[in-house]
Amino acid sequence: MAGLQREPSSPLTVTSSVAPLLCLLGVVVLLSSVTLIIKYVFQHSDVQPLRLAQIRVTVGFIFLGAVTLVWDCRGLLALGASDLVRLTLVGFLGVFSYAIAACGLMYTSVTHYALIYSLLPSCTATFSVLLRRDQVGLAKVAGITLSMIGCLIAVSDGVPSSAAGFGFGDMLVLVFTMMMSAHIVLSASVVKRFGVMVANTVMFGGSAFVLFLGSLQWTEPQRGEFSPLITAAVVYIGLATAAVFLLRYRSLQSLPPSTVGTYHNLIPVVTIVLAYLYLGEPIGLQTIIGGVAVVGGAELVRRVQQPPQVARKAEPSLGLGPPRHARSSNLPVPISRL
């Protein structure tokens, strides 16, 4: 019977199984904290949304560019002028929308931002159906409807008034969510063709250039210099945005996309809790009920969207696999939910 006993797991095996989960927890913490810190920057400085978005995307581009030069320099150098234009146009829809997200967060609460952005899976599924990239089903419609109703319930509880008008920030966040959903659907084929790191590096670079030109035209000169704390916060926002790409890739190497998607449902929960603890934003009964409905609807949509896994090493959807010329290499895979 001794030959049937299971050998004890080696420390290396235990570490390799824990590392992907730690990476996922890092994704949750980074994405949750970024929203909170952006709101903090707006509250304690006069930085304008377009300027903040430009710095965020530029820092992310520098980070991703350095990593891409190490992991896939050949793919980056193989791009032609037409490829750069195509990737820039696709990236404009997604990465450039960070400017709209920043404007929305200036006029609404972190709680509302998290709840509305949690509609991303439902909006993405809707765009997929409208563009005939996916089929409609009863469960999918139910999940989308549940998320929408839950969001309306939660956001209707104490919408903050502002000089820009009632719910103006919420509307901008919804526009940002829809733009990012369209970007995810439309960029799938582009990412598959050029590779995830190359594609996203160029998208970030092109959007950073456009945002730089826009900030020169439509923003007022910065009055004074940033304090060391605000400077550190702005740099953190950019680095965290790019770091999520690498952490999620590491988790997808060992975990199925279904597990990664489940962890992503924790992001709005953690964001709302952090906003309550550090910004003093209230959490009412409507927020809890609506938030549960939003997360439940998103999970239902995710389960319907998730294809059956034939093999453990199957690549996740939405073009998250490495480029064709390096299928077996360890190229980072990005996250579309930023």
pLDDT at 13 over 60: no
Q: Say which range, 40-49, 95-104, 134-143, 327-336, has the weakest mean pLDDT.
A: 327-336
pLDDT at 335 over 60: no
Least confident window among 60-64, 127-131, 309-313 = 309-313
Q: For position 65, what pLDDT does the model report?
A: 92
User: CA angle, 236 as apex, 231 and 242 as ends, to 5°?
Assistant: 140
pLDDT at 117: 92
Instruction: Categorize the per-residue pLDDT at 36 as very low, low, confident or very high, splitting at 50, 70 and 90.
Output: very high
Q: Rounded distance, CA 105 to CA 227, Å?
A: 21
Q: Which carries the bigger pLDDT value, residue 335 or residue 291?
A: 291
Contact 159, 166 (CB under 8 A): yes
Q: Quick check: 107 pLDDT over 70?
A: yes
Per-residue pLDDT tens digits for 205-242: 988 998 898 888 877 777 767 889 999 999 999 999 88
Q: List all residues 6 or more positions away from 277 whose beta carbon is below 8 Å from its beta carbon.
A: none
Give residue 16's pLDDT band: very low, low, confident or very high (50, 70, 90). low
At residue 54, the pLDDT reads: 92
**Of residues 156, 73, 64, the one with CA closest to residue 325:** 73
Residue 147 has pLDDT above 50, yes or no: yes
Distance of CA 146 to the CA centre of its chain: 22
Question: Per mean pLDDT, which range of 84-93, 134-143, 178-187, 188-197 is the poorest?
Answer: 188-197
pLDDT band at residue 184, thresholds of 50, 70 and 90?
Answer: confident
Q: What mean pLDDT is reported for the chain?
A: 80
Any idea which of 47-56, 182-191, 244-253 has the lowest mean pLDDT?
244-253
- Give 7: exposed, middle or buried? Use CB within 10 Å, 0-12, 13-18, 19+: exposed
Structural contact between residues 37 and 105, judged by C-beta atoms closer than 8 angstroms: no
Residue-level pLDDT at 321? 41
Tell which wins on pLDDT, 243 or 159. 243
Half-sphere exposure (Cβ direction) of 19: Cα atoms closer than 13 Å: 13
pLDDT for 86: 87
Give the lowest-confidence range in 102-106, 116-120, 215-219, 306-310: 306-310
Inform me whether the pLDDT recorded for 130 exceeds 90: no
pLDDT of residue 79 exceeding 80, the answer is yes
Residue 89 has pLDDT above 60, yes or no: yes
User: What is the pLDDT at residue 192?
Assistant: 80
Query: How much is the pLDDT for 274?
Result: 94
Q: Please state, for a pLDDT cut of 90, what percent of the chain lies above it.
A: 34
Q: Residues of the chain with pLDDT > 70: what percent?
A: 80
pLDDT at 330 over 70: no
